[in-house]
Amino acid sequence: MIVLGIALFALGILVSVCLHEAGHMGTAKAFGMKVTRYFVGFGPTLWSFRRGETEYGIKAIPAGGFVKIVGMTPQDDDVDPADEPRAMWRFPVWKRTIVMAAGSATHFMLGVAILWGLFAFVPLPDGEKLNEQAPRIDQVSPCVKVEWEFDPATGREKTCVEGVDPASPAAQIGLRPGDVITAIDGQPVTGWDDLTERVRAAGGREIAVTYERDGVTETKSVTLPLVERVKQSVDPDRTVASITDADLERVGQLGISPVIPKSTAGPVAAFGLAADQTVFMFERTLAALKKFPEKVPKLWAALTGEERDPETPISLVGASVIGGQLFERGMYAEILLLLASLNFFVGIFNLLPLLPLDGGHIAIAWFERIRSWLYARLGKADPGRVDYFKLMPITYVVIFIFGGFALLTLATDIVNPITLPF
């Protein structure tokens, strides 16, 4: 199942990349530019056909795709004289901008479409319904960690270790996944928040837990430990590393997590939810791009044997492996969320104003336009097009940096991959 999941997720990535290139091709053709080739994959051609002036085909290495638009730069030396009027660089800057941005726009539209379909038709956890019924247990923790600790290696709160830390009260009385907590000390439990509040307040004393299993009701008593936990009043967006002693308190803990009820939003409500999630993913992606430089040492440390920080970047191979793990666990909603986030990331990354990325071509086109406008206002002759050959050293540096980062990420995903903690 995991191999099938990896293959399906990788196929989803390949389809999105091919749609990216189709975005370039479709807009170029719409404006009258000449498109000579559209291929899925790289390397030797396995199969192709020609329709009109464009050759379509499949190549041997399914690692992406490409489209050939005649005259993407003024320095292209393979433009037939008959095609000169249709060379891309001859078209107005706004048309070239649309063509170059169409790839990223396709990623954005695909990401939004995935999110809309997810919210419209897939049953998703609905936390608001946790308080509408007695809580059903999803997982029982085998132990509890009495003292709250931060783990610098993972950037997360340390978890308990079975056999080292004390057994959880839930484990002591034999609670199991699927049990429904119906009462505490004889008082009915109305929902998860009600249960949480009463358990936290009962730290250090014995309580009676009433639960239902397979239609049979039982009551067992257990003493709740006083454990150190983050106060509920602390902003949930605070990073774990910023938690101080003033943010902690001692409360009771039972050691269970609830089954979160699921619901679908429907096609209409899904538009708003998809829009909100898109904004959230854009913000997270931009924040992640800013932190890329500080992630390099952590990737290198993981490659050389240290514990892998789950917040470090992953390659497309690593993403496919995680997709396979999610598929194996039947977590299809999470697969769609991951695929949507990858589309947003690729779309934003491609718009960075650096060659050879699409954003680099857009930046040069507008630099030429603004420079021509300024020269005209100053009464000087138009300096003409930018010479891409003079920019090649910078382009090679960009390729070297991003290529090295990609290889480092890929190697780390192979040697020390991120695995799901559940």
Q: Which residues are tagged catalytic?
A: 21
Give the CA count within 13 Å in the CB-facing half-sphere of 391.
16
> Is the Cβ–Cβ distance between 106 and 23 less than 8 Å?
yes
Treating both helix axes as pointing N-terminal to C-terminal, what angle do 332-350 and 93-121 enclose, rounded to 10 degrees?
170
> Is the Cβ–Cβ distance between 114 and 13 less than 8 Å?
no
Single out the residue of 102, 84, 77, 88 nearest to residue 24, CA to CA.
Answer: 102
Single out the residue of 287, 301, 294 nearest to residue 411, CA to CA.
Answer: 301
39: tokens are 């291929």
Using DSSP's 3-state secondary structure scheme, residue 258 falls into strand
Single out the residue of 232, 213, 282, 226 nearest to residue 253, CA to CA.
Answer: 226
Q: Count of CB atoms within 10 A of residue 27's CB?
A: 22
> Is the Cβ–Cβ distance between 182 and 189 less than 8 Å?
yes
Using DSSP's 3-state secondary structure scheme, residue 404 falls into helix
Treating both helix axes as pointing N-terminal to C-terminal, what angle do 2-31 and 316-328 enclose, rounded to 10 degrees?
130
Cβ-Cβ contacts under 8 Å for 81 (sequence gap 6 or more): none
Write the DSSP symbol of residue 77.
S
What is the rounded distance in angstroms from the CA atom of residue 375 to the CA atom of residue 390? 21
What is the rounded distance in angstroms from the CA atom of residue 137 to the CA atom of residue 16? 38
Treating both helix axes as pointing N-terminal to C-terminal, what angle do 316-328 and 332-350 enclose, rounded to 10 degrees?
170
Write the DSSP symbol of residue 71.
T
Cβ-Cβ contacts under 8 Å for 407 (sequence gap 6 or more): none
What is the rounded distance in angstroms from the CA atom of residue 157 to the CA atom of residue 139? 19
The DSSP code sequence of 26-65 is: HHHHHHT--EEEEEEEEEEEEEEEEETTEEEEEEEEEEEE
What is the rounded distance in angstroms from the CA atom of residue 198 to the CA atom of residue 210? 14
